[in-house]
Amino acid sequence: MNPRSTLSPQAQATVPTHVAIIMDGNGRWAKRRHLPRVEGHRNGVESVRAVVRAAGEAGVKYLTLYAFSVENWSRPKDEVDTLMKYLARFLKGEIGELTRNNVRLEAIGQIYRLPEFVQHQLARTRAALAKNNGLTLILALSYGGRTEIVEAMRSIAQKVREGRLEPAEINEQSVSQHLYTAHYPDPDLLIRTSGEMRISNFLLWQISYAELVVTPTLWPDFRKPQFYEALEEYTRRHRRFGLV
């Protein structure tokens, strides 16, 4: 994709309501520069800041970032510990920036698995930004698409067992209402950086009809121009939702 810093009139008229991003390539970015992997994560935070700002400027209403997956817990402890420290630092340090840009913060995933200091900072940051009504930034933390669906099924099964829900009443809408994302619209656009052609257990139910844009750009190099080019690509798509 050819990076650009402004949106065409066509793209401005068709900005997706909800954009989700699989932020991939931090490790490879660092390796190519003969740096520790954590340097890739540190520079990736700069991309988060740039893309959040760009999404708000473009008029995107919801931006979901795949920040930490359930599979990521299996990474080396030192790397996980560093990621958690970076996360807490980001949550605390970005309050001013997010407030200036009228960004509201939410989170999805098994939040209870995060270290307590991260949970506490997440709660404080969400509270500090609760009155903002611009872009809603959703961080997927300790998140897994299959885990989300399993937990939804358990919740539905419990309601059936208690007689609060009839099996015949279970449909797509009721399933969606039991997902982490029950209060948000499904993504219109899913972006994956680093060129990998897979979904990686991300929003498996919600992206049924999302447009997919895969860019070879590694996440630490993905900034406003690359984000805008993805929006331009979205504009060129014809969304038929199974129709003619």
DSSP one-letter code for 187: P
**pLDDT category, 66, cuts 50, 70, 90?**
very high
**pLDDT for position 29:** 95
CATH number of 13-235: 3.40.1180.10
In 10 A of CB 77, how many CB atoms?
A: 8
Give 1's pLDDT tier (boundaries 50, 70, 90). Answer: very low
> What are the residue boundaries of the structural domains of the chain, listed by start?
13-235
Per residue, the 3-state secondary structure of 139-189, as one string, reads EEEEECHHHHHHHHHHHHHHHHHCCCCCHHHCCHHHHHCCCCCCCCCCCCE
3-state secondary structure at position 39: helix
Side-chain-facing half-sphere of 136: CA atoms under 13 Å: 17
Closest by CA to 11, choosing from 241, 237, 198, 240, is 237
Other beta carbons less than 10 A from residue 78's beta carbon: 11
Distance from C-alpha of 58 to C-alpha of 138, rounded to nearest angstrom: 17
CA–CA dist 24, 41 (Å, integer): 10
For residues 235 and 57, is the Cβ–Cβ distance under 8 A?
no
Res 4: pLDDT: 62
pLDDT in the model for residue 55: 98
Q: Which residues contact 100 (CB under 8 A, 6 or more apart)?
A: none
Average pLDDT, the chain: 95
For the chain, percent of residues with pLDDT exceeding 90: 92
242 pLDDT more than 70: no
Here the tokens at position 97 are 């920036």
Lookup: tokens for 148: 């989300």
Q: Which pLDDT value is given to residue 38?
A: 85
CA dihedral 65, 70, 76, 80 (to 10 degrees): 50
Active site residues: 24, 72
Provide the b/e sequence for 134-173 (b: ≥16 CB within 10 Å): bbbbbbbbbbbbebbeeebeeebeebeeeeebeeeebeee
The distance between the two most distant Cα atoms of the chain, rounded to a whole number of Å, is: 59
Q: What is the pLDDT of residues 183-228, one digit of tens each?
A: 999 999 999 999 999 999 999 999 999 999 999 999 999 999 999 9
